[in-house]
Structure 1
Amino acid sequence: MSDKDYVKEKHDADASVRVATADQKYYDPSQESIWTRLGLNARSYTRAPGLTDQGVTHGQANEDAEGRPASANILQKKMKPRHLQMIAVGGSIGTGLFVGTGSALRNGGPAGVLIAWSLIGLMLINVTQALGEMAILYPVSGGFYTLTERMVDSSFAFAMGWNYVFQWAVVLPLEITVAGTTVQYWTGESVPIGAWITIFFAVIVIAAMFGTLGFAEEEFWSSCLKLSVVIIFIITGIICISGGGPARGAYSEYTGGAKWQNPGGFANGFKGVCAVFVTAAFSFAGTELVGLAASETPNPRESMPGAVKGTFWRITIIYISSLTIIGLMIPYTEPRLLGGSGAAASPFVIAMLDAGLNGMDHLINATICISVLSIGLSCVYAGSRTLTALAETGYAPKMFTYVDRAGRPLYSVLFILAFAPIAYVNVADVGSTVFDWLLALSGLSTLFTWGAICMTHIRFRAAWKAQGHSVRELPFKALGGVYGSWFGVILIVLVIVAQFYIALWPIGGMDPDGMAVAEGFFKTFLALPILITFYIIGLIWKRKLPYRAMDIDLDTGRKSWLTVEEMDAYHAERRLAPWHIRLYRTLFTSS
């Protein structure tokens, strides 16, 4: 029997199994009352009847080829295409862009900032393309973690899954604290920071009660605000640089690229560029959430391609354009950038204050406040969904598989929320020291996550080819293919090497006694030994070696079963559309 005949026979056998399971009765969350689905009554907190009650184990497909439920995970499919689009385009815009770019500009200069953000952005385009290719074909609970567990290695997935959970668990109290310091831009210290922490903690808890729908709606509207404000800033910045600013401000005359001449484009040469990379990565953290959201979207095939392609537009229009404006308006020697961590140190706020545009600084500050709350809710969403997936695959206590009738992984949400009170350490004198070390736990976590996605895609493509499949069968193909994923892995390794270099030879020179250098080194690389420790624990626990390409499961949870001929016919039909529709599909939606 040829490989092609074997694949066809296996496809027919699997199809018969899917038809047989169609006769089973499934729990339909849409039949619950609106109050239950919104999580606003007592019934919503009871466990949703899953397929485990009918003998089907966790980890199976979220839907079969005909779209019937086929998973023990009853996470409700409440996300609409508009939600997914905004999560991809504006979901991760927060303190990394609005505030973190201040320290990046100080260390790397405007040229260093553009180089770092452009390279990280190019790598991230490949990461999201690879994730989109797999998530559309396998819209499984747990996103990239579940795919890594299947395609690469159980021990590696165990390490990456817990790394991802703790990354968001640690970022949550940080974001709550930043929200409090942002409000102090208006109130000063007349209201204690502890009071603001309590208020913002309560807001996140209330929003989390609404489950997926609460997260999706909050992300949609907050992303609309963030995108609108950044676009207003870009347009305003162009006018100011061209000399159209108010007479009372610093931009009543044309300035152009003067600040690239004096003080210059690079703040600390090559070392300065290296120092900016992690800040750039932090500003993009959360982009991979579209992969998690795919399992809670009714039709990932229709909504995911547009969300994935939206990453390109976000990077080019939002990040690169706004950072170019910042570099043209603010010199890296600006003293207000030094040592600042709150809204007052935001280059966006500083630029508008210098321009003499009264009220713009308050609008940007309010946007920063909403942004950090948005990222805080993303922490709860991403951490809880990944923890539930860990439990489903046996790498976390089984209690975390509990999903209630409102579609919330209840115990997983409570676990992540339990980290929020750590924010109160900022009330004590040692608060900043404690926070520095907590952040060190997730210092390189974002890069590790993206590297895991690239490696998973490489293994998926190897298995797809080894088992007789063609890339023409894929409903969505990553733009850079497997080469884009290799580019991502190589660039991530280079960034980690650059951080090693900066940790040992920091900007400003060596400390006489070496203590500051040693402390900075461990803060930078603390996440690496923790990741290795988790991998060793997973290896000893499960005693599983990396999978061979021929042994990788490509069928469980697979959404599309179309043959090469059927996919060719589908694309041929779409090529008959008018040119302007084809162009729109290429740029913004599915191809």
Structure 2
Amino acid sequence: FWTDVNPSVWIVTFVLLTLVVGLSFVRLFGEVEFVFAVLKILLVVFLVVLGLVIDLGGVRGTPPVYFRYWRDPGPFVEYIATGHWGRFLGYWSVMTGAVFSFAGVESIAMAGAETRNPRKAIPAACKNVFIRIVLFYMLAILIVGMLVSSQDSRLDRESGDATQSPFVIAASAAGIPAIPSVVNAVVITSAWSASNQSLLAGTRVLYGLAVKKQAPKIFLRTTSWGVPYACVFLFMTFSLLSFMSLSSDAITVFWWLVNLTAAGVLVSWISILVNHIRLRLAMQKQAIPITRLPWWNSWTLYSSYFALFMCIIILLTGGFAVFTKGNWNASNFVSAYLDIPLVLAAYFIWKFAKKTKIVALADIPLQRAFERADQKYESLAS
């Protein structure tokens, strides 16, 4: 978007900044994410208010829009097919992008081991995330649907920059030229925030695997303040993929990475849900009351089954377009489904090589785990 500066300068700058945050105290990560969260919240609030002003005709020379675009042409766009089925496919085709947008919400728990009092901090953080999603995501989507027609040709441009944002399109139509730069600035900081979260989550998972002897010992190496620097350096090598955006097909590469990331996120969520379901079933099997958990509710077992079903369906249909007539594309197929065989291969190779077995629900040492957690909590409280 800001073409007066070579894109490689921005890439190198943010890669180095991410490396600095990744090697620093986890407290610095928390402070940086707090600042980014405030910036994103302020941007969303600003855009929502601006959108309402434009929609209600508050900008001189711009007539009110209200819910005009909800009636004509309507909120859903036909994709591949026509009629109701085509509109459903149009809705379903954005699921991968939606998953990509929510990637990282599970990273809250990743920092639990480095949190002073996770029994209080993690539930509070989860509640804040839920409130932000409901208030800001849903409200912003509502306003976007009111501002711009679903058939606006500017939404289909392959620029991939801030000018493609519905808020920017509406602001430009209302004669407010400064909005694209504001949106682009916050989007860049949000991208940096996402890289920080991904680095934190990835390095902690890899370190945990090394602790369990499921990854090479070299990844156990940490700084004097406890950061697994070997894991950080490994993950930072993948940041070099960002230089692929310098090619003429940058937008195509971007969607490949979106598909790969979304599939990886779904695999991660599926693993989390399976473990949560087994935890609840094991507690029932061993007659351990749910109140032993520091944060719980009675319906999560059922919601976990539903979420697991939805994650599997979205994962399996993420690249459905390539199976329709005339839309086969090998690169899109690979980017949508590569993660599945990789994960299954890693799982079964380890299982057969180490001859591991799935632990029966009655044999999972939950009581000992709860006792150790209680002892740690009491030591922190004293």
Q: Give the TM-score taking structure 1 as reference length.
A: 0.58
> How is 1:112-123 mapped onto 2 (pairs within 5 angstroms)?
none
Q: Tell me, what secondary structure is at the counterpart of 1:298?
A: coil
2:238 aligns to what?
419
Report the CA distance shift for 1:210/1:326 in structure 2 as closer, same or farther (over 3 A). same
Query: Which fold has the larger relative contact order, with Cα–Cα distance below 8 Å and residues 6 or more apart in sequence?
Result: 1
1:391 aligns to what?
210
Report the CA distance shift for 1:262/1:438 in structure 2 as closer, same or farther (over 3 A). closer
Cα pair 2:96 2:259 within 8 Å, conserved: no
Residue 198 (structure 2) pairs with residue 379 (structure 1)? yes
- Please tell me the residue identity of whatever aligns with 2:35: W
How far apart, CA to CA, are the structure 2 residues paired with 1:284 and 1:484? 18
How far apart, CA to CA, are the structure 2 residues paired with 1:483 and 1:305? 20
2:347 aligns to what?
535
2:116 aligns to what?
298
1:285 aligns to what?
103
Cα pair 1:475 1:560 within 8 Å, conserved: no
Q: 1:247 aligns with which of 60, 77, 93?
A: 60
> How is 1:77-476 mapped onto 2 (pairs within 5 angstroms)?
185-186=1-2, 188=3, 190-244=4-58, 246-248=59-61, 252-268=62-78, 269-338=87-156, 339-428=158-247, 437=256, 440-476=259-295
Cα pair 1:503 1:524 within 8 Å, conserved: no
Q: Tell me, what secondary structure is at the counterpart of 1:418?
A: helix
CA deviation profile, 1:362-416 (whole Å, cap 9, x unmatched):
2222111111111111222111111101111111111111122122111111111
> How is 1:20-59 mapped onto 2 (pairs within 5 angstroms)?
none
2:357 aligns to what?
545
Q: Report the CA distance between 1:461 and its aligned residue.
A: 0.9
Cα pair 2:23 2:232 within 8 Å, conserved: no
How far apart, CA to CA, are the structure 2 residues paired with 1:326 and 1:301? 37
Report the CA distance shift for 1:291/1:496 in structure 2 as closer, same or farther (over 3 A). same
How far apart, CA to CA, are the structure 2 residues paired with 1:335 and 1:362? 21
Q: Tell me, what secondary structure is at the counterpart of 1:371?
A: helix
Q: Report the CA distance between 1:428 and its aligned residue.
A: 4.6
How far apart, CA to CA, are the structure 2 residues paired with 1:277 and 1:219? 26
Q: Report the CA distance between 1:317 and its aligned residue.
A: 0.5
CA deviation profile, 1:528-578 (whole Å, cap 9, x unmatched):
11111111211122211111001112123742379xxxxxxxxxxxxxxxx
- Please tell me the residue identity of whatever aligns with 2:233: L
- Please tell me the residue identity of whatever aligns with 2:77: A
CA deviation profile, 1:417-464 (whole Å, cap 9, x unmatched):
122223223345576666665555434111111111111111001111
Q: Tell me, what secondary structure is at the counterpart of 1:311?
A: helix
- Please tell me the residue identity of whatever aligns with 1:224: V
Report the CA distance shift for 1:311/1:503 in structure 2 as closer, same or farther (over 3 A). farther
How far apart, CA to CA, are the structure 2 residues paired with 1:437 and 1:412? 25
How far apart, CA to CA, are the structure 1 residues paired with 2:232 and 2:149? 43
More deviation in 328-337 or 351-360?
351-360
Q: Report the CA distance between 1:478 and its aligned residue.
A: 3.6
Q: Report the CA distance between 1:479 and its aligned residue.
A: 5.7
Q: Tell me, what secondary structure is at the counterpart of 2:373?
A: coil
CA deviation profile, 1:487-507 (whole Å, cap 9, x unmatched):
1112222323443543412xx
Q: Tell me, what secondary structure is at the counterpart of 1:243?
A: coil
How far apart, CA to CA, are the structure 1 residues paired with 2:126 and 2:299? 13
Q: 1:493 aligns with which of 301, 308, 312?
A: 312
Cα pair 2:270 2:311 within 8 Å, conserved: yes
- Please tell me the residue identity of whatever aligns with 2:344: I
Report the CA distance shift for 1:383/1:542 in structure 2 as closer, same or farther (over 3 A). same
How far apart, CA to CA, are the structure 2 residues paired with 1:437 and 1:345? 19
Q: Tell me, what secondary structure is at the counterpart of 1:207?
A: helix
CA deviation profile, 1:278-307 (whole Å, cap 9, x unmatched):
111111000001111111111112222221
How far apart, CA to CA, are the structure 2 residues paired with 1:312 and 1:474? 20
Structure 2 unaligned segments of length 5 or more: list them: 79-86, 377-382
2:83 aligns to what?
none
Q: Tell me, what secondary structure is at the counterpart of 1:499?
A: coil
More deviation in 204-213 or 462-471?
204-213
Cα pair 1:208 1:214 within 8 Å, conserved: no
Residue 303 (structure 2) pairs with residue 484 (structure 1)? yes
Report the CA distance shift for 1:441/1:264 in structure 2 as closer, same or farther (over 3 A). closer
Q: Tell me, what secondary structure is at the counterpart of 1:266?
A: coil
Q: Give the TM-score taking structure 2 as reference length.
A: 0.88
2:379 aligns to what?
none
Cα pair 1:274 1:502 within 8 Å, conserved: no
Cα pair 1:443 1:526 within 8 Å, conserved: no
CA deviation profile, 1:29-65 (whole Å, cap 9, x unmatched):
xxxxxxxxxxxxxxxxxxxxxxxxxxxxxxxxxxxxx
Identity score, percent: 28
How far apart, CA to CA, are the structure 1 residues paired with 2:215 and 2:283? 29
- Please tell me the residue identity of whatever aligns with 1:261: R
How far apart, CA to CA, are the structure 2 residues paired with 1:499 and 1:419? 23
Cα pair 1:294 1:300 within 8 Å, conserved: yes
How far apart, CA to CA, are the structure 2 residues paired with 1:377 and 1:481? 29
Cα pair 1:466 1:549 within 8 Å, conserved: yes
How far apart, CA to CA, are the structure 1 residues paired with 2:281 and 2:55? 50
The alignment yields a C-alpha RMSD, in angstroms, of 2.3
Work out the number of aligned pairs and report it: 365
CA deviation profile, 1:229-265 (whole Å, cap 9, x unmatched):
1012112212221221x224xxx32211101122212
How far apart, CA to CA, are the structure 1 residues paired with 2:63 and 2:281? 58
> How is 1:7-26 mapped onto 2 (pairs within 5 angstroms)?
none
More deviation in 418-427 or 331-340?
418-427
